[in-house]
Structure 1
Amino acid sequence: MLRSTLLWLSRRRAMLQFVTRRSLPRAFARRFVAGETLDDAAAAVRAVNARGLSATLDLLGESVTSSAEAVAARDQVLRVVDRIVADGVNANVSVKLTQLGLDLDPGVCRANMVAILERAAPSRLFVRVDMEGSPYTERTLRLFREHLHPRFGDLVGVVIQSMLRRSDRDVEDLIRMGARVRLVKGAYAESHQIAYPEKRDVDAAFARQAERLLDAGCCPAIATHDERLIAAAKRHVRERGYGPDRFEFQLLYGVRRDLQERLRAEGYRVRVYIPFGTHWYPYLMRRLAERPANPPSRGA
């Protein structure tokens, strides 16, 4: 019930406007969000790199309501790309397609995404297309399959949510393409017809899909704080004799710093997902909805 309520609140624009103007919620959000400015994000990346970890930067924002907003978001992401290159840090970029106009016009969204990839490509900077709620799954994958991956290859990747019933099929399709996949459980409220309602089924799907991606060898990102699933992935890698450069673990900023450090000390590649920006409220609500499984730490 609490999780459903938090996810419902994450979609309420009136709550967004109310909460983001108040200092206490903003201070709490700093546990999970690097800050509101690109300078804040750049500082967080440097701190993460200093600990021997890599990063991915996510400019928070989704579901823009005009082409002008989509273009503004594109330009902000271009500045993120430029800053990563200029600073010479170990980081890449994650982008949501609704932030670039997917709800408004697929052509506008595609053009904005291509502009970002064209800016990143000369520096071999990787860009990940984030996954959103299930109404966007097919549209996101279609754009990735038909336009982005054929042109930019391993410089662009996508995300699969193991909670969705369709994801086994999607994983197989992406493996055949040689696509780079980040595997997550999923943080959006979905119907039982679309997603597994029971945690055990989501966990089983995640473990199954992680093994397929690890075997395929397309540099997957195993993104979870669930230590049982992390242990299962490590066991599979060990049994198959795969090297640590075959994949990476990805963990959220502000969640389980101890786990980040332990995996790094064990020789695994670890990337920290660092969100930033003024549109932090929906992201924060989704993270709070996950807290029973992902207790926060005191740092990033």
Structure 2
Amino acid sequence: MEAISKNFFLYLSNNKVLDRLAKRFGSRFGADKIVGGETFSQAIPIIEQLNHDGLQVTVDHLGEFVTSEEEARNRAEECVEAVQLIAENQLQSEISLKLTSLGLDISHQLVIENMEKILKEAQAREVTVTIDMEDSSRCESTLEIYKSLKKDYSNLGTVIQSYLYRSDCDIEELHSVDPYLRLVKGAYKESGKVAFIDKEMVDSNLKHLIKKNLKNGHYTAIASHDDAIINYTKQLEREMSLSKDQFEFQMLYGMRNETQKQLVKEGYTVRVYLPYGEDWYGYFMRRLAERPANVAFAIKGIFSK
């Protein structure tokens, strides 16, 4: 049943008719409950409120699979502007981005040029940048780019997905560059040839990866709404005598708000993933596909104050 639910939402995420309707009527269906606006400037008051509530933020300009060099360079400029506004407004926020939005599918040189432009500004402004992970076909190139850039930019993180078989080896290979990793389950439709299909295996591997990266001594972001994963991390904190500044929890804007606040009260760092932009529909459907329980969280988040 869970596999059917996941496939259903992944199918919806690629439906162009529904995507157009979502852009047209998004506010009526609660898009403002899960997205911080169409521009970064519109997201600033939300970030300020989240910071006031003790929450850290990472922002992501929605949109991927850019097909022209001009558009890729424009996306890079948008990221630079976001970095500048974060610094100028003294926001406690990082930025997240997808390499496909910066030209990954167009040219290796193009995506490197765009990333370096963003990272130079971010390093000067002391803003951290995280490269989001996309589908498995782009995993190798994403990690190679991450490793090459991490040598010169310490303010750079990336994402590892626990549903991929390769992730354990990836963490091992990244060890030498002192990675800042966001660990997630994964939200793209993947073949059983490259990914665990069984939920229990995905969850078990996520726990394994969390422990491994923390044991390796690297700062770790645990991005999950799952109480079992959150409690497991707390258990590791006790067993490994971890300091609370060695890891953080990350959750989506608009989901599990009370859990976020409770974790802050307990002294944990909690970072809210705040997307902005018009292309929110596909993002939201993939989040629902990621975990069926997110459907309940979404309904509560959209229709409750």
TM exceeds 0.5?
Answer: yes
> How far apart, in 2, do the equivalents of 1:24 and 1:267 lie?
35
Q: Which residue of 2 aligns with 1:203?
A: 203
* Aligned pair partner of 2:13 in 10, 25, 50: 10
Q: SS of the counterpart of 1:183?
A: strand
Moved more, 8-17 or 209-218: 8-17
| Residues 265-284 of structure 1 aligned to structure 2 (within 5 Å) | 265-284=265-284
3-state secondary structure, aligned to 2:196 = coil
The alpha-carbon deviation at position 169 of structure 1 amounts to 0.5
Q: How far does the alpha carbon of each residue in 1:273-298 deviate from its partner, in whole angstroms, 9 at most, with x for none?
A: 10001111210111222352332343
Q: Could you say which residue in structure 1 is the equivalent of 2:153?
A: 152
3-state SS of paired residue (2:187)? coil
Quote the offset at 1:26 in angstroms.
5.6
Q: Which amino acid aligns with 1:17?
A: R
Question: Residue 136 of structure 1: which of 135, 138, 141 is its match?
Answer: 138
Structure 1 runs not aligned, ≥5 long: none
Q: Counterpart of 1:63 in structure 2: which amino acid? A: F
Contact 2:146 2:158 in 1 (8 A): yes
Secondary structure of the corresponding residue to residue 83 of structure 1: helix
1:39 positional shift? 2.1
1:68-121 Cα offsets, whole Å, 9 max, x none, are 110111111111111101000111110100000101111101110110001111
Q: Which consecutive segments of 4 or more residues in structure 1 shift more than 6 A?
A: none
Counterpart of 2:293 in 1: which secondary structure? coil
CA deviation profile, 1:98-149 (whole Å, cap 9, x unmatched): 0001011111011101100011111221100000111110010011112x11
Deviation at 1:197, TM superposition (A): 0.4
Query: How many angstroms does 1:203 deviate by?
Result: 0.5
Q: State which drifts further: 271-280 or 285-294.
A: 285-294
Matches within 5 A, 1:242-257: 242-257=242-257
* Match runs of 1:198-237 below 5 Å: 198-237=198-237
Match of 2:93 in 1: 91
Q: Distance in 1 between matches of 2:21 and 2:26?
A: 12
User: Contact 1:247–1:269 at 8 Å: present in 2 too?
Assistant: yes
Segment drifting more, 126-135 vs 175-184: 175-184
Residue 168 and residue 229 in structure 1: after superposition, are their counterparts in 2 closer, same or farther (change >3 A)?
same
Deviation by residue 1:140-176 (Cα, 9 ceiling, x = unmatched): 0011112x111112x0011000010100101111123
- Does the 8 Å CA contact 2:84/2:125 hold for their aligned counterparts? no
Picking from 19, 23, 26, the partner of 2:22 is 19
Contact 2:102-2:115 at 8 Å conserved across structures: yes
Supply the distance in 2 between the matched residues of 1:5 and 1:152 (Cα, whole angstroms). 40
Equivalent residue letter for 1:236? L
Number of equivalenced pairs: 297
Change (3 A) 1:24 1:279: closer
Letter in 2 for 1:152: Y
What SS does structure 1 have at the residue aligned with 2:229? helix
* Cα pair 1:214 1:237 within 8 Å, conserved: no
- 1:93 aligned counterpart, secondary structure: strand
Q: Residue type of the partner of 1:123?
A: R
| CA separation of 1:14 and 1:69: change in aligned 2, threshold 3 A | farther
Matched residue, 2:259: 259
Relative to structure 2, which stretch is displaced further, 170-179 or 248-257? 170-179
Counterpart in 1 of 2:110? Answer: 108
Which deviates more, 195-204 or 211-220? 211-220
1:165 aligns with 2:165: yes
User: What CA distance in whole angstroms lies between the structure 1 residues aligned with 2:159 and 2:138?
Assistant: 12
Contact 1:117 1:152 in 2 (8 A): yes
Residues 9 and 60 of structure 1: CA distance in aligned 2, closer, same or farther (over 3 Å): same
Is the 8 Å Cα contact of residues 151 and 177 (structure 2) preserved in structure 1? no
Report the Cα distance in structure 1 between the residues aligned to 2:16 and 2:67, rounded to whole angstroms.
12
Q: Distance in 1 between matches of 2:268 and 2:221?
A: 12
Q: 1:104 to 1:51 in 2, by over 3 A?
A: same
**How many angstroms apart in 1 are the aligned matches of 2:26 and 2:72?**
29
The one-letter code sitting in structure 2 at the alignment partner of 1:32 is: I
Structure-2-length-normalised TM-score: 0.93
Query: Secondary structure of the equivalent of 1:151?
Result: coil
Cα distance change, pair 15–68 in 1 and its aligned pair in 2 (3 A): farther
The alpha-carbon deviation at position 18 of structure 1 amounts to 4.0
- Whole-angstrom CA distance in 1 between matches of 2:63 and 2:21: 17
**Contact 1:29–1:284 at 8 Å: present in 2 too?**
no
Q: Unpaired segments of 5 or more residues in structure 2? A: none
Q: Tell me, yes or no, if structure 1 residue 192 matches structure 2 residue 195.
A: no
Aligned-residue offset at 1:36: 1.1
